[in-house]
């Protein structure tokens, strides 16, 4: 018997237990400080050196690079290690799925990664830690060491399109999976949110684990409102037991 292919779409809610605040929740950053949104908006970032200086200071203080995976991330990696075919599609940029032990090739990062930088001119890439070290050493707006172009976080900023290759892979996975689990996502930001509906339309069992209601709850086979740190490990161990 073929084992089910499990696709897990993870949003900000899976990482709040790791100390990374969510952006769109009731206490999210964009609600508290609308000016902060400019720091991650491509047009403002490229056009204003002061915005870039503030962005680098924000990254320097960012807790993402210091965060550790929590029980939910570890449970996903354990499911994969158990032999169950698992793939992760994440809206997060924190890299915590990989740190928890998920092979990088099995994680699709829709919004890129905060752990790297990319040159906007020559597209050279490097580790965020090296760029932050340059800021700590006194550079306000570190430029690309290859070509002198503007460096940015290797994340998708507001005003930028998602990588069509990554999005295409996520779509193919969504259509092929047997079980689709949306965890810690408001399912309000397209095109990622639409994956839940596509999974259901293609016959997948749709499971939603989220504190707040989502627009796709009516399509779900099961909706779980419990805290993710305990609810997701329990759900995944139940899936394993069903297949044992």
Q: Which residues are catalytic?
A: 111
Q: What are the b/e assignments for 120-134, b being 16+ CB within 10 Å? A: eeeeeebebeebbeb
The neighbouring-strand residues paired with 89 are 9, 108
C-beta of residue 206 within 8 angstroms of C-beta of residue 216: yes
Q: Are 64 and 93 in contact (CB under 8 A)?
A: yes
Contact 8, 14 (CB under 8 A): no
Residue 136 neighbours by CB distance under 10 Å: 10
Q: Indicate the SS3 state at residue 41.
A: strand
- Angle, in degrees to the nearest 10, between helices 71-81 and 228-243: 10
């Amino acid at each position: 018997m073929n084992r089910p292919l499990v696709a897990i779409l993870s949003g900000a809610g899976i990482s709040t237990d790791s100390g990374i605040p969510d952006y769109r929740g009731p206490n999210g950053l964009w609600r508290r400080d609308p000016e902060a949104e400019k720091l991650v908006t491509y047009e403002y970032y490229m056009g204003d050196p002061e915005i870039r200086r503030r962005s680098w200071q924000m990254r320097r203080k960012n807790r993402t690079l210091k965060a550790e995976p929590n029980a939910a991330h570890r449970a996903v990696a354990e499911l994969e290690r158990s032999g169950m075919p698992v793939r992760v599609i994440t809206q997060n940029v924190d890299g915590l799925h990989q740190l928890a032990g998920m092979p990088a090739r099995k994680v699709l990062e829709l919004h890129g990664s905060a752990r790297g930088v990319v040159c906007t001119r020559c597209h050279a890439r490097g580790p965020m830690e090296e760029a932050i070290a340059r800021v700590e050493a006194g550079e306000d707006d570190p430029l690309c060491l290859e070509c002198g172009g503007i460096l940015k976080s290797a994340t998708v900023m507001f005003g930028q399109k998602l990588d069509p290759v990554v999005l295409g892979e996520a779509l193919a996975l969504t259509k092929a999976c047997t079980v689709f689990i949306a965890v810690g996502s408001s399912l309000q930001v397209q095109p990622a949110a639409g994956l839940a509906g596509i999974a259901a339309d293609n016959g997948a069992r749709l499971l939603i684990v989220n504190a707040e209601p989502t627009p796709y709850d009516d399509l779900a086979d099961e909706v779980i409102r419990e805290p993710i740190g305990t609810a997701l490990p329990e759900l995944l161990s139940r899936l394993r037991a069903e297949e044992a």
